[in-house]
């Protein structure tokens, strides 16, 4: 099992997971508005923060390859392909945002993915390893943490452009267990076989958040962000994007609905083994939040 921990010192961890990006705290979105998260024409600071919960329907696309450096044996896992891990799943997310000053705010989000599958008496071909007439199980227990700092670069009575700087925490954990008749690089054996990938990588994030208000209640927003970093034998990069619509039901209660995309490439280059992981998802989400 691969277990690595990346430490990155930062004043804040990144915002708004691309799956359910929290509603950003807008600046001067609409003049003379009752929106609880903006400044009005007279410089009055309205309510400063929000907390929310959301639900998303997500389609996953992941690939994992283990390469043993000495023997050259390669194991390729296609979780949503021949290993029957659920391709579509629903996940809950939690998010929050807080305005520090007129042009400065912070945000945070968290969500967890938990998927598993088990199958019996099937031939499982994972490249140089074949499991015959046995039992195999695969689980995905991955968590995402996001915290960021946002600075307003431009705003008028309807538009807002914000730069983002923060950290995206990818806490990835995959485990594959098999037992029965096993062929490794053409050599038959009987027993059990295990492969695991576990990595926690807090990675720097840079992005931009654009929003436009149609009225004091209705607005739309788009966010694009890049995540990239390395530490010791771990290297990772990611791209995330989302577009959503937002509506305030009252001065304190609002909702969001939108679509998102995320894709990450992680490489763990250890002394005896190299692991290459591609983790992606896309889907639709909706959330409800309370402003204070």
The whole-number pLDDT of residue 257 equals 96
d(CA 195, CA 67): 11
The whole-number pLDDT of residue 214 equals 92
Q: How is residue 220 annotated by DSSP?
A: E
The whole-number pLDDT of residue 179 equals 87
Q: Model pTM? A: 0.77
The whole-number pLDDT of residue 275 equals 92
The whole-number pLDDT of residue 44 equals 35
Distance, C-alpha 145 to centroid of its chain:
7
The whole-number pLDDT of residue 123 equals 82
The whole-number pLDDT of residue 65 equals 92
Q: Is 37 helix (H, G, I), strand (E, B) or coil?
A: coil
d(CA 162, CA 141): 33
The whole-number pLDDT of residue 102 equals 85
Q: Is 42 helix (H, G, I), strand (E, B) or coil?
A: coil
Distance, C-alpha 43 to centroid of its chain:
36
Give 118's contacts (C-beta < 8 A, 6+ positions apart): 135, 136, 137
The CATH class, in words, for 2-291 is: mainly beta
The whole-number pLDDT of residue 12 equals 31
Q: Are residues 16 and 50 in contact, defined by beta-carbon separation less than 8 angstroms?
A: no
Which mean pLDDT values do the consecutive 10-residue runs of the chain (292 residues) have?
36 36 44 42 55 93 91 89 87 92 92 89 84 86 92 90 92 89 85 85 90 91 90 85 94 94 90 90 94 88
Q: Are residues 236 and 267 in contact, defined by beta-carbon separation less than 8 angstroms?
A: yes
The whole-number pLDDT of residue 47 equals 64
- Spans of all domains in the chain: 2-291
d(CA 258, CA 266): 27
């Amino acid at each position: 099992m691969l277990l690595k921990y990346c430490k990155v010192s930062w004043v804040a961890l990144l915002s708004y997971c691309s799956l359910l990006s929290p509603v950003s705290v807008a600046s001067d979105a609409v003049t003379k508005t009752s929106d609880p998260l903006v400044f009005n024409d007279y410089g009055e600071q309205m309510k400063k923060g929000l907390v929310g919960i959301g639900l998303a329907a997500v389609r996953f696309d992941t690939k994992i390859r283990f390469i043993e450096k000495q023997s050259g044996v390669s194991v390729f896992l296609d979780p949503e392909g021949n290993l029957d891990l659920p391709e579509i799943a629903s996940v809950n997310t939690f998010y929050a945002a807080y305005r520090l000053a007129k042009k400065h705010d912070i945000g945070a989000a968290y969500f967890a993915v938990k998927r598993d599958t088990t199958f019996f008496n099937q031939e499982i071909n994972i490249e140089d390893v074949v499991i015959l007439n046995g039992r195999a199980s695969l689980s995905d227990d991955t968590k995402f943490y996001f915290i960021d700092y946002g600075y307003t670069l431009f705003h008028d009575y309807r538009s807002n452009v914000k730069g983002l700087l923060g950290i995206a925490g990818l806490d990835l954990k995959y485990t594959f267990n098999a037992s029965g008749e096993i062929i490794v690089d053409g050599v038959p054996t009987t027993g059990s076989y295990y492969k695991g990938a576990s990595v926690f990588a807090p990675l720097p994030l840079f992005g931009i958040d654009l929003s436009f208000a149609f009225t004091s209640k209705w607005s739309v927003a788009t966010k694009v962000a890049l995540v990239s970093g390395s530490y010791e034998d771990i290297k990772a990069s990611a791209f995330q994007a989302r577009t959503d619509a937002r509506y305030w039901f009252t001065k304190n209660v609002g909702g969001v609905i939108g679509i998102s995309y995320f894709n990450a490439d992680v490489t763990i280059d250890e002394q005896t083994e190299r692991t290459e992981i591609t983790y992606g998802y896309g889907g639709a989400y909706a959330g409800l939040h309370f402003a204070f």
